[in-house]
Chain A
Amino acid sequence: MIELENVHHDYGDHKVLGGISLTLAEPRIAIVGANGSGKSTLARLLNGLLLPTSGRVRVDGLDTKKDGKAIRRKVGFVFQDPDIQIIMPTVAEDLDFGLKRHGLTRERRAAKVTAALLEHGLDQHRDHPAHLLSGGQKQLLAIAAVLITDPTHLVFDEPTTLLDLPNRHRVTRLITGLTQQVVLVTHDLDLAATADRVIVLDHGTVFADGPPARSIDAYVALHTA
Protein backbone atom coordinates (compact mmCIF):
# COMPACT_ATOMS: atom_id res chain seq x y z
CA MET A 1 0.00 0.00 0.00
CA ILE A 2 1.26 3.48 -0.90
CA GLU A 3 0.05 6.48 1.09
CA LEU A 4 0.44 10.17 0.30
CA GLU A 5 -0.30 12.68 3.03
CA ASN A 6 -0.83 16.28 1.93
CA VAL A 7 2.06 16.08 -0.54
CA HIS A 8 3.36 19.28 -2.10
CA HIS A 9 6.16 19.41 -4.63
CA ASP A 10 7.95 22.46 -6.02
CA TYR A 11 10.78 22.71 -8.51
CA GLY A 12 12.45 25.85 -7.23
CA ASP A 13 9.60 28.35 -7.00
CA HIS A 14 7.51 26.48 -9.57
CA LYS A 15 4.76 24.74 -7.58
CA VAL A 16 3.85 21.52 -9.35
CA LEU A 17 1.88 19.44 -6.83
CA GLY A 18 -0.37 21.17 -4.35
CA GLY A 19 -1.57 19.09 -1.42
CA ILE A 20 -2.23 15.57 -2.63
CA SER A 21 -3.56 12.95 -0.22
CA LEU A 22 -4.18 9.46 -1.55
CA THR A 23 -4.24 5.90 -0.29
CA LEU A 24 -3.24 3.61 -3.12
CA ALA A 25 -4.38 0.11 -2.23
CA GLU A 26 -6.10 -1.21 -5.38
CA PRO A 27 -4.08 -3.68 -7.49
CA ARG A 28 -4.18 -1.52 -10.62
CA ILE A 29 -4.37 2.25 -10.55
CA ALA A 30 -4.07 4.56 -13.55
CA ILE A 31 -3.12 8.24 -13.42
CA VAL A 32 -4.17 10.47 -16.32
CA GLY A 33 -3.91 14.20 -16.92
CA ALA A 34 -2.80 16.83 -19.40
CA ASN A 35 0.86 17.51 -20.25
CA GLY A 36 2.48 19.25 -17.33
CA SER A 37 -0.27 18.38 -14.86
CA GLY A 38 2.30 16.71 -12.59
CA LYS A 39 1.90 12.99 -13.36
CA SER A 40 5.59 12.19 -13.71
CA THR A 41 6.38 14.22 -10.62
CA LEU A 42 3.80 12.23 -8.67
CA ALA A 43 5.12 8.95 -10.06
CA ARG A 44 8.68 9.79 -9.03
CA LEU A 45 7.53 10.59 -5.52
CA LEU A 46 6.18 7.06 -5.12
CA ASN A 47 9.61 5.39 -4.98
CA GLY A 48 11.57 8.25 -3.48
CA LEU A 49 13.23 9.36 -6.73
CA LEU A 50 11.82 12.73 -5.73
CA LEU A 51 11.10 13.71 -2.14
CA PRO A 52 8.05 15.82 -1.30
CA THR A 53 8.72 19.48 -0.52
CA SER A 54 6.23 19.00 2.28
CA GLY A 55 3.99 16.15 3.32
CA ARG A 56 4.79 12.47 3.42
CA VAL A 57 4.90 9.44 1.10
CA ARG A 58 4.87 5.98 2.66
CA VAL A 59 5.18 2.57 1.06
CA ASP A 60 4.07 -0.33 3.23
CA GLY A 61 4.72 1.89 6.21
CA LEU A 62 8.23 3.02 5.13
CA ASP A 63 8.83 6.74 4.62
CA THR A 64 10.51 7.72 1.32
CA LYS A 65 12.50 10.36 3.18
CA LYS A 66 14.17 7.80 5.45
CA ASP A 67 14.09 4.48 3.66
CA GLY A 68 14.63 5.40 0.01
CA LYS A 69 16.86 2.43 -0.75
CA ALA A 70 14.53 -0.13 0.82
CA ILE A 71 11.56 1.44 -0.95
CA ARG A 72 13.24 1.36 -4.36
CA ARG A 73 13.73 -2.37 -3.88
CA LYS A 74 10.00 -2.76 -3.32
CA VAL A 75 8.84 -0.32 -5.96
CA GLY A 76 10.06 -0.98 -9.49
CA PHE A 77 9.99 2.00 -11.86
CA VAL A 78 9.65 1.88 -15.63
CA PHE A 79 10.40 5.10 -17.51
CA GLN A 80 8.81 6.25 -20.74
CA ASP A 81 12.07 6.05 -22.66
CA PRO A 82 13.87 2.70 -22.34
CA ASP A 83 17.00 4.30 -23.78
CA ILE A 84 17.74 5.92 -20.44
CA GLN A 85 16.64 2.95 -18.39
CA ILE A 86 18.91 0.36 -19.98
CA ILE A 87 22.25 0.79 -18.28
CA MET A 88 24.41 -2.12 -19.37
CA PRO A 89 25.74 -2.63 -22.91
CA THR A 90 24.13 -5.98 -23.70
CA VAL A 91 20.69 -7.48 -23.07
CA ALA A 92 21.77 -10.22 -20.64
CA GLU A 93 24.09 -7.89 -18.75
CA ASP A 94 21.32 -5.38 -18.27
CA LEU A 95 18.99 -8.03 -16.87
CA ASP A 96 21.76 -8.99 -14.46
CA PHE A 97 22.41 -5.40 -13.34
CA GLY A 98 19.67 -5.14 -10.72
CA LEU A 99 20.17 -8.73 -9.54
CA LYS A 100 23.78 -8.11 -8.60
CA ARG A 101 22.59 -6.04 -5.67
CA HIS A 102 20.34 -8.75 -4.32
CA GLY A 103 23.02 -11.05 -2.96
CA LEU A 104 22.19 -14.02 -5.21
CA THR A 105 24.79 -16.55 -6.29
CA ARG A 106 26.21 -16.31 -9.79
CA GLU A 107 24.38 -19.51 -10.82
CA ARG A 108 21.05 -18.33 -9.44
CA ARG A 109 21.45 -15.02 -11.27
CA ALA A 110 22.32 -16.72 -14.54
CA ALA A 111 19.24 -18.95 -14.21
CA LYS A 112 16.99 -15.95 -13.60
CA VAL A 113 18.46 -14.10 -16.57
CA THR A 114 17.91 -17.06 -18.87
CA ALA A 115 14.33 -17.46 -17.65
CA ALA A 116 13.62 -13.76 -18.22
CA LEU A 117 15.14 -13.85 -21.73
CA LEU A 118 12.84 -16.74 -22.65
CA GLU A 119 9.77 -15.25 -21.01
CA HIS A 120 10.07 -11.98 -22.90
CA GLY A 121 11.15 -13.43 -26.23
CA LEU A 122 14.62 -11.93 -25.98
CA ASP A 123 16.61 -15.17 -25.93
CA GLN A 124 17.85 -14.57 -29.49
CA HIS A 125 19.36 -11.29 -28.31
CA ARG A 126 21.20 -12.39 -25.15
CA ASP A 127 24.57 -10.89 -26.13
CA HIS A 128 23.31 -8.22 -28.52
CA PRO A 129 24.06 -4.56 -27.83
CA ALA A 130 20.95 -3.04 -26.25
CA HIS A 131 21.06 -0.02 -28.54
CA LEU A 132 20.47 -2.21 -31.59
CA LEU A 133 17.14 -3.59 -30.33
CA SER A 134 13.88 -2.25 -31.74
CA GLY A 135 11.93 0.26 -29.66
CA GLY A 136 9.47 -2.43 -28.57
CA GLN A 137 12.22 -4.85 -27.61
CA LYS A 138 13.98 -2.11 -25.65
CA GLN A 139 10.85 -1.42 -23.63
CA LEU A 140 10.34 -5.15 -23.03
CA LEU A 141 13.94 -5.37 -21.83
CA ALA A 142 13.49 -2.35 -19.56
CA ILE A 143 10.39 -3.92 -18.01
CA ALA A 144 11.97 -7.37 -17.75
CA ALA A 145 15.02 -5.91 -16.02
CA VAL A 146 12.76 -4.36 -13.40
CA LEU A 147 10.57 -7.46 -12.95
CA ILE A 148 13.58 -9.73 -12.51
CA THR A 149 14.32 -8.15 -9.12
CA ASP A 150 10.84 -9.17 -7.85
CA PRO A 151 9.44 -5.79 -6.77
CA THR A 152 6.07 -5.85 -4.99
CA HIS A 153 4.86 -2.60 -6.59
CA LEU A 154 5.44 -1.23 -10.07
CA VAL A 155 5.21 2.33 -11.29
CA PHE A 156 5.05 2.89 -15.04
CA ASP A 157 5.45 6.38 -16.51
CA GLU A 158 3.88 6.27 -19.98
CA PRO A 159 5.34 2.87 -20.89
CA THR A 160 3.61 2.67 -24.28
CA THR A 161 3.85 6.25 -25.54
CA LEU A 162 6.85 5.68 -27.81
CA LEU A 163 5.65 2.33 -29.17
CA ASP A 164 3.91 1.31 -32.38
CA LEU A 165 0.57 -0.52 -32.28
CA PRO A 166 1.78 -4.14 -32.08
CA ASN A 167 4.31 -3.30 -29.38
CA ARG A 168 1.78 -1.23 -27.50
CA HIS A 169 -0.47 -4.30 -27.41
CA ARG A 170 2.38 -6.51 -26.32
CA VAL A 171 3.45 -4.22 -23.47
CA THR A 172 -0.18 -3.66 -22.46
CA ARG A 173 -0.73 -7.41 -22.26
CA LEU A 174 2.40 -7.75 -20.15
CA ILE A 175 1.29 -5.01 -17.76
CA THR A 176 -2.29 -6.24 -17.42
CA GLY A 177 -0.99 -9.72 -16.60
CA LEU A 178 1.15 -8.57 -13.67
CA THR A 179 0.29 -9.76 -10.18
CA GLN A 180 2.12 -6.92 -8.39
CA GLN A 181 0.42 -3.67 -7.51
CA VAL A 182 0.64 -1.41 -10.58
CA VAL A 183 0.48 2.38 -10.73
CA LEU A 184 0.35 3.44 -14.34
CA VAL A 185 0.73 6.95 -15.74
CA THR A 186 -0.69 7.04 -19.24
CA HIS A 187 -2.27 9.10 -21.98
CA ASP A 188 -3.86 5.94 -23.38
CA LEU A 189 -7.43 6.09 -22.08
CA ASP A 190 -8.21 2.56 -23.28
CA LEU A 191 -5.36 1.31 -21.15
CA ALA A 192 -6.48 3.46 -18.21
CA ALA A 193 -9.98 2.00 -18.54
CA THR A 194 -8.61 -1.46 -17.67
CA ALA A 195 -7.51 -0.26 -14.20
CA ASP A 196 -9.45 -0.68 -10.95
CA ARG A 197 -9.23 3.01 -10.20
CA VAL A 198 -8.37 6.09 -12.25
CA ILE A 199 -6.98 9.30 -10.79
CA VAL A 200 -7.19 12.47 -12.89
CA LEU A 201 -4.59 15.16 -12.19
CA ASP A 202 -5.16 18.76 -13.19
CA HIS A 203 -2.64 21.50 -12.45
CA GLY A 204 -1.09 19.48 -9.66
CA THR A 205 -4.23 18.52 -7.79
CA VAL A 206 -6.58 15.56 -7.91
CA PHE A 207 -9.46 16.53 -10.18
CA ALA A 208 -11.26 13.18 -10.14
CA ASP A 209 -10.68 9.85 -8.47
CA GLY A 210 -12.76 6.70 -8.69
CA PRO A 211 -13.94 3.92 -11.01
CA PRO A 212 -12.43 4.21 -14.53
CA ALA A 213 -15.60 5.10 -16.42
CA ARG A 214 -16.49 7.97 -14.10
CA SER A 215 -12.97 9.41 -13.86
CA ILE A 216 -12.35 9.19 -17.59
CA ASP A 217 -15.67 10.87 -18.37
CA ALA A 218 -14.72 13.67 -15.99
CA TYR A 219 -11.31 14.01 -17.66
CA VAL A 220 -12.79 14.13 -21.14
CA ALA A 221 -15.41 16.67 -20.02
CA LEU A 222 -12.70 18.83 -18.42
CA HIS A 223 -10.86 19.14 -21.72
CA THR A 224 -13.81 19.53 -24.08
CA ALA A 225 -15.33 22.45 -22.19
Chain B
Amino acid sequence: MLSLYHEARSPVHRSPAGAKLAVLLAVGTGLFFVRSIAALGAVLLVVALCYAVAKVPARVGLRQLRPVLPVLIAIVIAQLVLTGWVTAVLVGQRVLVLVALANLVTLTTRTSAMIDTVEAVLRPLRPLGVRPERVGLLVALTIRFVPVLKEQADQVRAAHRARGLRGTRFLTPLLIKTLRLADGLGSAIEARGGPD
Protein backbone atom coordinates (compact mmCIF):
# COMPACT_ATOMS: atom_id res chain seq x y z
CA MET B 1 0.00 0.00 0.00
CA LEU B 2 2.96 2.27 0.61
CA SER B 3 3.60 2.58 -3.07
CA LEU B 4 6.01 5.19 -4.27
CA TYR B 5 5.86 8.02 -6.70
CA HIS B 6 5.22 7.10 -10.34
CA GLU B 7 6.70 9.78 -12.58
CA ALA B 8 4.36 11.08 -15.34
CA ARG B 9 2.93 14.36 -16.63
CA SER B 10 -0.77 14.43 -15.87
CA PRO B 11 -3.40 16.68 -14.34
CA VAL B 12 -3.54 14.31 -11.37
CA HIS B 13 0.19 14.74 -10.76
CA ARG B 14 -0.14 18.50 -11.07
CA SER B 15 -3.02 18.80 -8.58
CA PRO B 16 -1.90 20.05 -5.18
CA ALA B 17 -1.29 17.33 -2.60
CA GLY B 18 -3.75 18.99 -0.23
CA ALA B 19 -6.57 18.76 -2.78
CA LYS B 20 -5.87 15.08 -3.42
CA LEU B 21 -5.82 14.27 0.27
CA ALA B 22 -9.08 16.21 0.73
CA VAL B 23 -10.75 14.22 -2.07
CA LEU B 24 -9.49 10.99 -0.52
CA LEU B 25 -10.94 12.00 2.83
CA ALA B 26 -14.26 13.06 1.31
CA VAL B 27 -14.64 9.90 -0.77
CA GLY B 28 -13.58 7.77 2.18
CA THR B 29 -16.35 9.26 4.29
CA GLY B 30 -18.95 9.40 1.54
CA LEU B 31 -18.47 5.74 0.62
CA PHE B 32 -20.24 4.58 3.72
CA PHE B 33 -23.44 6.30 2.66
CA VAL B 34 -23.54 4.47 -0.68
CA ARG B 35 -25.43 1.22 -0.29
CA SER B 36 -25.85 -0.03 -3.83
CA ILE B 37 -23.58 -2.46 -5.61
CA ALA B 38 -24.21 -0.73 -8.93
CA ALA B 39 -23.35 2.70 -7.57
CA LEU B 40 -20.14 1.45 -5.94
CA GLY B 41 -19.33 -0.34 -9.19
CA ALA B 42 -19.65 3.00 -10.95
CA VAL B 43 -17.33 4.60 -8.36
CA LEU B 44 -14.79 1.86 -9.04
CA LEU B 45 -15.02 2.62 -12.75
CA VAL B 46 -14.41 6.31 -12.05
CA VAL B 47 -11.36 5.40 -9.96
CA ALA B 48 -10.06 3.25 -12.83
CA LEU B 49 -10.62 6.23 -15.12
CA CYS B 50 -8.58 8.43 -12.75
CA TYR B 51 -5.71 5.94 -13.05
CA ALA B 52 -5.92 6.29 -16.84
CA VAL B 53 -5.93 10.10 -16.61
CA ALA B 54 -2.93 9.90 -14.25
CA LYS B 55 -1.13 7.73 -16.85
CA VAL B 56 -0.46 5.01 -14.31
CA PRO B 57 -0.23 1.71 -16.22
CA ALA B 58 -2.69 -1.00 -15.12
CA ARG B 59 0.29 -3.24 -14.30
CA VAL B 60 1.62 -0.72 -11.77
CA GLY B 61 -1.82 -0.06 -10.27
CA LEU B 62 -2.57 -3.77 -9.84
CA ARG B 63 0.84 -4.51 -8.38
CA GLN B 64 0.11 -2.00 -5.62
CA LEU B 65 -3.19 -3.73 -4.86
CA ARG B 66 -1.67 -7.19 -4.50
CA PRO B 67 -0.41 -6.82 -0.91
CA VAL B 68 -3.93 -5.99 0.35
CA LEU B 69 -5.64 -8.84 -1.48
CA PRO B 70 -5.37 -11.37 1.37
CA VAL B 71 -6.89 -8.86 3.79
CA LEU B 72 -9.60 -7.97 1.30
CA ILE B 73 -10.49 -11.62 0.75
CA ALA B 74 -10.56 -12.28 4.48
CA ILE B 75 -12.91 -9.34 5.06
CA VAL B 76 -15.23 -10.40 2.26
CA ILE B 77 -15.38 -14.01 3.50
CA ALA B 78 -16.08 -12.85 7.05
CA GLN B 79 -18.92 -10.64 5.83
CA LEU B 80 -20.22 -13.45 3.67
CA VAL B 81 -20.49 -15.75 6.68
CA LEU B 82 -21.77 -13.12 9.10
CA THR B 83 -24.12 -10.99 7.06
CA GLY B 84 -24.71 -12.38 3.59
CA TRP B 85 -23.46 -11.76 0.10
CA VAL B 86 -24.85 -8.27 -0.55
CA THR B 87 -22.99 -6.70 2.39
CA ALA B 88 -19.92 -8.77 1.55
CA VAL B 89 -19.79 -7.32 -1.96
CA LEU B 90 -20.48 -3.78 -0.70
CA VAL B 91 -17.73 -3.96 1.89
CA GLY B 92 -15.31 -5.46 -0.63
CA GLN B 93 -16.06 -2.65 -3.07
CA ARG B 94 -15.58 0.05 -0.44
CA VAL B 95 -12.22 -1.31 0.69
CA LEU B 96 -11.12 -1.65 -2.93
CA VAL B 97 -12.10 1.95 -3.76
CA LEU B 98 -10.33 3.30 -0.69
CA VAL B 99 -7.12 1.39 -1.21
CA ALA B 100 -7.04 2.14 -4.92
CA LEU B 101 -7.60 5.85 -4.33
CA ALA B 102 -5.04 6.03 -1.52
CA ASN B 103 -2.56 4.29 -3.83
CA LEU B 104 -3.35 6.74 -6.61
CA VAL B 105 -2.57 9.66 -4.31
CA THR B 106 0.81 8.17 -3.33
CA LEU B 107 1.60 7.22 -6.93
CA THR B 108 1.02 10.77 -8.16
CA THR B 109 2.31 12.83 -5.22
CA ARG B 110 5.92 13.25 -4.17
CA THR B 111 6.44 12.39 -0.52
CA SER B 112 7.92 15.83 0.02
CA ALA B 113 4.70 17.48 -1.23
CA MET B 114 2.65 15.18 0.97
CA ILE B 115 4.79 16.04 4.00
CA ASP B 116 4.57 19.78 3.26
CA THR B 117 0.78 19.44 3.22
CA VAL B 118 0.63 17.46 6.43
CA GLU B 119 2.88 20.04 8.07
CA ALA B 120 0.78 22.94 6.77
CA VAL B 121 -2.45 21.36 7.99
CA LEU B 122 -0.99 20.74 11.44
CA ARG B 123 0.68 24.14 11.82
CA PRO B 124 -2.34 25.79 13.52
CA LEU B 125 -2.13 23.08 16.19
CA ARG B 126 1.36 24.18 17.19
CA PRO B 127 0.11 26.10 20.28
CA LEU B 128 -1.41 22.83 21.48
CA GLY B 129 2.03 21.26 21.50
CA VAL B 130 1.84 19.49 18.11
CA ARG B 131 5.18 19.54 16.30
CA PRO B 132 4.31 19.49 12.59
CA GLU B 133 7.92 18.75 11.49
CA ARG B 134 7.93 15.64 13.66
CA VAL B 135 4.69 14.34 12.19
CA GLY B 136 6.05 15.06 8.71
CA LEU B 137 9.23 13.15 9.53
CA LEU B 138 7.17 10.26 10.84
CA VAL B 139 5.27 10.04 7.56
CA ALA B 140 8.54 10.07 5.62
CA LEU B 141 10.16 7.45 7.82
CA THR B 142 7.17 5.14 7.51
CA ILE B 143 7.24 5.27 3.73
CA ARG B 144 11.01 4.87 3.68
CA PHE B 145 11.34 2.01 6.15
CA VAL B 146 8.38 -0.29 5.55
CA PRO B 147 10.14 -1.91 2.56
CA VAL B 148 13.39 -2.07 4.54
CA LEU B 149 11.67 -3.87 7.42
CA LYS B 150 9.99 -6.26 5.03
CA GLU B 151 13.37 -7.07 3.50
CA GLN B 152 14.83 -7.69 6.95
CA ALA B 153 11.96 -9.97 7.85
CA ASP B 154 12.49 -11.96 4.65
CA GLN B 155 16.22 -12.25 5.34
CA VAL B 156 15.82 -13.42 8.90
CA ARG B 157 13.16 -15.92 7.89
CA ALA B 158 15.33 -17.27 5.08
CA ALA B 159 18.28 -17.63 7.45
CA HIS B 160 16.08 -19.58 9.84
CA ARG B 161 14.74 -21.82 7.15
CA ALA B 162 18.29 -22.50 5.94
CA ARG B 163 19.08 -23.78 9.43
CA GLY B 164 15.96 -25.92 9.47
CA LEU B 165 14.10 -23.81 12.04
CA ARG B 166 10.37 -23.33 11.81
CA GLY B 167 7.57 -21.37 13.38
CA THR B 168 7.68 -17.88 14.84
CA ARG B 169 11.08 -18.11 16.46
CA PHE B 170 12.47 -15.77 13.79
CA LEU B 171 10.56 -12.93 15.49
CA THR B 172 13.16 -12.46 18.23
CA PRO B 173 16.16 -11.81 15.94
CA LEU B 174 13.90 -9.66 13.79
CA LEU B 175 12.94 -7.57 16.81
CA ILE B 176 16.59 -7.15 17.76
CA LYS B 177 17.46 -6.11 14.21
CA THR B 178 14.60 -3.64 14.16
CA LEU B 179 15.57 -2.10 17.50
CA ARG B 180 19.15 -1.74 16.28
CA LEU B 181 17.86 -0.08 13.11
CA ALA B 182 15.72 2.31 15.15
CA ASP B 183 18.68 3.15 17.38
CA GLY B 184 20.97 3.85 14.43
CA LEU B 185 18.27 5.83 12.73
CA GLY B 186 17.87 8.03 15.79
CA SER B 187 21.57 8.92 15.64
CA ALA B 188 21.37 9.51 11.90
CA ILE B 189 18.45 11.91 12.22
CA GLU B 190 20.27 13.79 14.95
CA ALA B 191 23.49 13.89 12.92
CA ARG B 192 21.61 15.27 9.93
CA GLY B 193 20.03 18.13 11.82
CA GLY B 194 16.93 16.53 13.30
CA PRO B 195 13.31 17.42 12.59
CA ASP B 196 13.65 21.02 13.76
Q: Does B144 reach chain A (CB closer than 8 Å)? A: yes
How many residues on the A side are at the interface (Cβ–Cβ under 8 A)?
A: 30
Instruction: Tell me if B191 and A87 are in contact (CB < 8 A).
Output: no
Instruction: Tell me if A88 and B184 are in contact (CB < 8 A).
Output: no
* Residues of chain A contacted by B185 (CB below 8 angstroms): 84, 87
Q: Does A72 reach chain B (CB closer than 8 Å)? A: yes
A residues whose Cβ falls under 8 Å from a Cβ of B: 44, 47, 49, 69, 72-73, 76-77, 79, 81, 83-90, 93, 96-98, 101, 127, 129-131, 145-146, 149
Alpha-carbon separation in the docked complex, A131 to B2 (Å): 13
Q: Does B30 reach chain A (CB closer than 8 Å)? A: no
A89: which of B144, B181, B196 is its contact (CB, 8 Å)? B144
Q: Does B141 reach chain A (CB closer than 8 Å)? A: yes
Determine how close the nearest CB of chain B comes to the CB of A178; give it in whole angstroms.
17
Instruction: Tell me if A96 and B191 are in contact (CB < 8 A).
Output: no
Q: Does B154 reach chain A (CB closer than 8 Å)? A: no
Instruction: Tell me if B193 and A73 are in contact (CB < 8 A).
Output: yes
For the residues of B in contact with A, the DSSP-based class is: helix
* Residues of chain B contacted by A89 (CB below 8 angstroms): 4, 111, 140, 143-144
Alpha-carbon separation in the docked complex, A23 to B176 (Å): 38
How many residues on the B side are at the interface (Cβ–Cβ under 8 A)?
A: 26
Residue of B nearest to A78 (CB): B191
Q: Does B189 reach chain A (CB closer than 8 Å)? A: yes
Instruction: Tell me if A96 and B193 are in contact (CB < 8 A).
Output: no
Instruction: Tell me if A87 and B111 are in contact (CB < 8 A).
Output: no
Determine how close the nearest CB of chain A comes to the CB of B153; give it in whole angstroms.
14
Alpha-carbon separation in the docked complex, A97 to B195 (Å): 9
Q: Does B160 reach chain A (CB closer than 8 Å)? A: no
Instruction: Tell me if B184 and A97 are in contact (CB < 8 A).
Output: no
A44: which of B111, B148, B181, B187 is its contact (CB, 8 Å)? B187
Alpha-carbon separation in the docked complex, A107 to B148 (Å): 31
A81: which of B137, B140, B184 is its contact (CB, 8 Å)? B184
